[in-house]
Chain A
């Protein structure tokens, strides 16, 4: 029966076993982690959802976005607005009354309802990515110019969120909510439930991106990374494929932001700023761009390291981060998965190029 169930997992028999064991281990995580550690781990896998989406556009599409903090933030704010309204009951959120507002702004109204807030948390970042992607890719703004635009987007959105304090909570962001649907975030039962929800979301995000990457559309995306002109003269419009991938990536970042808020209980402009946006890219770079599983590993490993190092040396993290960035670029251009493939090859003395091995990992 287990073998039948395992047929759901694609790939060779060995790969199926590895995956089955991995998923089983992940399902048992609540058994051997304290609620605190489990919460941290949930946060890491929530961030891994963003990394998968980022890898879709960077690793496969060759589009480097340094603005994913914005999409992440928009998703996070959407769910935080719902939680804030729930926590405030019939009165308006506390920060609004401090700013001298006495009626709820109209655009806050839809966020009273969880399904609406949830959908908007995905649709708003997706729509923003769609609009940005449509106008830039269509006008053939690529490479570093696109990257600079995404940085500009971050600055605009962060400035807006800080400036409109009466609507967004300003620099403090949105916080001060303790429960969802009446379940306190501190309860270990809630923590376990959120862990499984987040894990399921990550698996869905991974399978979705895998489906895209292994489709002909993924092939076109990869081809336009290497030779956009050729793609165009084969009759494909690369800007549509890029816009599509960028939109999916934005939506996944929004989902990631929502699950992140449920874990940490706060979202503020500094979490969607330039430094976090660059950190996100580093997760993918460290894990190995161009392999979806690498992006997940990168996000979890780097965030675990961040937590560990910050616990020991609060000031040290940024130094480590900078050093790591240089080290990855210079020493491991294909990240951890590239390193792993190289080790495997040395052991098995397999032929073939590094890239071919990586791609099969999907």
Chain B
């Protein structure tokens, strides 16, 4: 982790990465088909399609109110879709499952604000995520343990918190909490990880570290990231889906996205103006 921290010093000067060898060959693991969500008459998502391939780092971008977070909510079962289905592995329809069932099927969800358990230690937080059997009678027989499993040590190393297992999660910094939460999700051995603006509120260093972490994670599972930070997306995205007003606007590599006139109009163009305004200060 130490050497890693040095390596990522100059975040914004990182060269734009070319999409890691187009993943078109790998099979689709999760597909959302024709999803619509209505909040009391307001259509937050209208007929959205999203296909996620195995081991893909997939970014979901779009202006505010485009329905990005709502899409994640539908996939993980927090919000019910008014129509459409979400197929996991081509067969299981997730829209018919309860949220905790979806989680145990291997869909991990990270919300925007860090939501670790502040009164438990880092280790206890990880323990909760690590157990496979989540029934009451099984968990009653398990004790709060004093030992850290090798798997947890590996995760602690990966998320940059080695040796911190005894600390109360509430005493971690904002960025560290986010990493702990990602670590918890990793311990669940998810096949799909849904992350909502994981780098919001992070320092530049933390942002780069998180990006590296996400790339690392994408080697073992598919990752969907909702993001606003365009620099971040540019640096790390393999595949980008742009949403606008609840619909699919464009899907492709970052280069393709940047050259699409419609995207520039609704989103990137606007961002450029923002940037121009900001830099003229």
Kindly state the separation between the CA atoms of A241 and B139 in the bound complex, as whole angstroms.
10
Kindly state the separation between the CA atoms of A355 and B119 in the bound complex, as whole angstroms.
8
Q: Give min CB distance, A252 to chain B, whole Å.
A: 16
Q: How many residues of chain A are within 8 Å of chain B by beta carbon?
A: 28
CB contacts (< 8 Å) of B181 on chain A: these are: 230
Mask for A214-231, Cβ within 8 A of B = 1, else 0?
111111101100110111
Kindly state the separation between the CA atoms of A231 and B131 in the bound complex, as whole angstroms.
12
Of the listed stretches A232-240, A326-334, A339-347, name the one at the interface; the rest are far from the partner chain: A232-240
Asked whether B103 lies within 8 Å of A234 as measured between CB atoms, the reply is: yes
Kindly state the separation between the CA atoms of A355 and B169 in the bound complex, as whole angstroms.
12
Q: Give min CB distance, B30 to chain A, whole Å.
A: 16
Specify which of A227, A244, A355 is in contact with B116 (CB 8 Å cutoff): A227
Q: Give min CB distance, A87 to chain B, whole Å.
A: 41
Asked whether B188 lies within 8 Å of A216 as measured between CB atoms, the reply is: no
Kindly state the separation between the CA atoms of A232 and B108 in the bound complex, as whole angstroms.
10
Asked whether A217 lies within 8 Å of B109 as measured between CB atoms, the reply is: no
Q: Is B35 an interface residue (CB 8 A)?
A: no
The interface centre, meaning the residue of A216, A218, A230, A232 with most chain B CB atoms within 10 A of its CB, is A216
In the complex with contacts A227-B115, A229-B115, A235-B134 CB distance below 8 A: yes
In the complex with contacts A219-B124, A234-B128, A214-B143 CB distance below 8 A: yes
Specify which of B124, B134, B140 is in contact with A212 (CB 8 Å cutoff): B140
Asked whether A216 lies within 8 Å of B100 as measured between CB atoms, the reply is: no
The interface centre, meaning the residue of B111, B128, B184 with most chain A CB atoms within 10 A of its CB, is B128
The interface centre, meaning the residue of B99, B117, B131 with most chain A CB atoms within 10 A of its CB, is B117
Q: Is A353 an interface residue (CB 8 A)?
A: yes
Kindly state the separation between the CA atoms of A223 and B142 in the bound complex, as whole angstroms.
15
- Additional A-B contact list (19), CB under 8 Å, known A216-B131, A219-B127, A223-B117: A216-B143, A216-B144, A217-B139, A219-B139, A220-B128, A222-B120, A226-B119, A226-B120, A229-B78, A230-B181, A232-B99, A234-B129, A234-B134, A235-B188, A236-B100, A236-B128, A236-B134, A244-B136, A356-B168
A residues touching B (Cβ–Cβ < 8 Å)? 211-212, 214-220, 222-223, 226-227, 229-237, 240-241, 244, 353, 355-356
5 closest pairs, A vs B, by CB?
A: A235-B104, A216-B142, A235-B103, A217-B139, A216-B139
